Amino acid sequence: MKNRWLIENGTFITMDPQQPVVEGWLAVENDRIAGLGTGQAPDEERKLGAELVDGRGKLYLPGLINTHGHAAMSLLRGLADDLRLQDWLENHMWPMEAKFTGDDVYWGTSIAAAEMILSGTTTFLDMYDHMDRVAEVVEQSGLRAVLTRGVIGLCPPDVQTAKLNDAIGFAKSWHGQAGGRIRVMMSPHAPYTCPPDYIERIVAAARELGLPLHTHMSETAAEVAQNVKDYGVRPVEHLDRLGLFSGPSLVAHAVHLTDEEIALLAERGVAVSHNPVSNLKLASGVARVPELLKAGVTVSLGTDSAASNNNLDLFEEIRLAALLHKGVTGDPTAVPAPEALRMGTVYGAKSLGLEGETGVLQPGLKADLISVRTNKPHFVPATDYVSHLVYAASGADVADVWVDGKQLLRERQLLTLDAERIRFEAQRAFDRLRA
């Protein structure tokens, strides 16, 4: 039986430049948007539509896309804040993460998935370990995800090889699975955690598998200086020499860039995942987002993990992307509201190789969408809904979420995940880790 339903009387913020706002109807058939139009739905649509959804009082927009994170680290939320990076990593994060079992990753990712659905994210990138357990959560939750085993190469050659084989094995098992909702990337963790020859091996594997590459890059000034010291060049040129940018690639953070590096990223078509909250919290600095956008680089948004954020509400990243660069550059026209919303939707899709699949409300694309209820003081007056979504809304305003045409959230009730059990198990996992 076909999955068919129809939203009537809705306001659709499409992110499609041809018709940015549509007051009308949207029809879904199976996993895709089948139609979208103004006014009343045509009779043939109404007849086909098995389920009718009343869209009054709601804004509909593409589901948000989180292009960098480590979901399982939600287990470490609030464990250690306001510390210097090395202290935070060496004395708090790494000792706990070293104890993570597959079950910890499963429950940590589950609590993250619940939080992401509740705040309107429909697609997320996840770089971590025990990725088969992450994939399990994606299967169960109904979310769309780009998953990647982040490999750290500071280890003996046999361990390097084992890790790479693990990443390749994961890719072969899971790319295209969960009804196509899972895609896989290959990830050297960072230029400062992987020797050059190991990065080249990972790049070669990615090319052989036909998969994009993802890595952390130029997050801190210290790591850039170290790269220059170790390899004589800054990270962008270093990774370029190693072939990382010779195919589709996405780098997270990219805080410390020269003009020449921005030009090279644009030339190579490298996408950037901007993580403003995490960059501020860890005192990494402020990425040069207006310059990146001006150069034509695709800039999307990531939360990074809840250990350095400390939530997964992408509305907050969208807002901060719009606010921060104005204040820091002194230009109030920097990153205007529509551009910030594109960063959280259509540019997110582009960053993940999902352009033409999700990130826009358009017939033929995947039915990945969310609704936001507007009967709240902070949506008054009804001036400019894009402005309100960017500058006034939060993830808590999200009422409904669909991915692949399937509803995951209905009036803030999770339909695919058992929120109470997940909270209980995640707390238990944390208590055990800390014991």
**Residue 375: what are its φ and ψ, rounded to 5°?**
-85, 55
57 touches its own copies (CB under 8 A)? no
Q: Which of residues 78-97 bind its own copies (CB under 8 A)?
A: 78-79, 81-85, 88
> Phi, psi at residue 79, to the nearest 5°?
-70, -35
Residue 160 binds its own copies, judged by CB under 8 A: no
Q: Give the 3-state secondary structure of residue 310.
A: coil
Residues in binding site for Zn(2+): 68, 70, 216, 304
Q: In sequence order, which ranges of 333-388 are alpha helices (DSSP H)?
A: 337-343, 346-351, 385-387
Q: How far is the CB of 96 from its own copies (least distance, A)?
A: 11
Compute the chain's Rg from CA coordinates.
21
CB 214 to its own copies: min, Å:
23
User: What secondary structure letter does DSSP report for 151?
Assistant: E
**Range in contact with its own copies (rule: CB under 8 A) among 70-78, 168-176, 210-218, 344-352:** 70-78
Assess 56 for contact with its own copies (CB under 8 A): no
Rounded Cα–Cα distance for residues 120 and 137 (Å): 17
254 binds its own copies (CB under 8 A): no
Which residue reads 């009730």 in tokens?
A: 413
Of 22-30, 120-128, 226-234, 311-319: span binding its own copies (CB under 8 A): 311-319
Residue closer to its own copies, measured from CB, 18 or 375? 375
18 contacts its own copies (rule: CB under 8 A): no
Instruction: Provide DSSP, 61-122.
Output: EEPEEE-S--GGGGGGTTSS-S--HHHHIIIIIHHHHTT--HHHHHHHHHHHHHHHHHTTEE
- Part of the chain binding its own copies (CB under 8 A), chosen from 62-70, 202-210, 332-340, 353-361: 332-340
Q: Which of residues 352-391 bind its own copies (CB under 8 A)?
A: 375-378, 380-385, 387-388, 391
Instruction: Select 48 or 419, whichever has its Cβ closest to its own copies.
Output: 419
Name the burial class of residue 324, with classes exposed (0-12), middle (13-18) and buried (19+) by CB atoms within 10 angstroms of its CB.
Answer: buried
Cα gap 355→365, rounded to integer Å: 9
Does 415 bind its own copies (CB under 8 A)? Our answer is: no
Name which of residues 266 to 295 contact its own copies (CB under 8 A).
277, 279-286
Please report, in range form, the residues annotated as the binding site: 68, 70, 97, 149, 189, 216, 219, 304
Phi, psi angles (nearest 5°) of residue 231: -125, 0
**CB of residue 52 to its own copies, shortest distance in Å:** 25
Asked if residue 118 binds its own copies (CB under 8 A), the reply is yes
Nearest to 69 by CA among 216, 249, 254, 270: 216
Which of 74-82, 135-143, 267-275, 363-371 is the region at the interface with its own copies (rule: CB under 8 A)?
A: 74-82
Q: Which of 21, 323, 362, 363 binds its own copies (CB under 8 A)?
A: 323
